[in-house]
Amino acid sequence: MQALKDLLTLLPDLRLDVPEHTMSANGEFGFSRWVMHATGAHGPFEMNGMDRTRVRNGLVCENDVFFDSSEFQQLVGT
């Protein structure tokens, strides 16, 4: 939870679009491609990422987030 608070403090205008998502054939994993929009130290930017979410008994039990962290640092200016 703290990581999300820190992210929103760093990028208060952060917005995520999810142009694609799908479930695996066995229904246990979901995959979402997202596009982050925000304003960093060098101005407005966009970057892409993906989440892999595991669902069991209707509840999210695991979520892995994939993105280029060096690109993020460059765009944000950290």
**DSSP letter for each residue of 24-64:** -TTSSEEEEEEEEEEEETTEEEEEEEEEEEEEETTEEEEEE
| pLDDT at residue 7, rounded to an integer | 92
Say yes or no to pLDDT of 63 above 80. Answer: yes
Count of the separate structural domains present in the chain: 1
List the domain range (segments joined by +) for residue 18. 2-76
Q: Which two tokens stand for residue 65?
A: 């987030």
**Type and span of the H or E element at 5:** helix 2-10
Pairing outcome for strands 15-23 and 59-66: unpaired
For the entire predicted model, the pTM comes to 0.85
* Domain CATH code at residue 9: 3.10.450.50
| pLDDT at residue 25, rounded to an integer | 82
| pLDDT at residue 29, rounded to an integer | 95
Cβ neighbours for 15, distance < 8 A, ≥ 6 positions apart = 36, 37, 38
Q: How confident is the model at residue 27 (pLDDT cuts 50, 70, 90)?
A: confident
Q: What is the mean pLDDT of residues 17-40?
A: 94
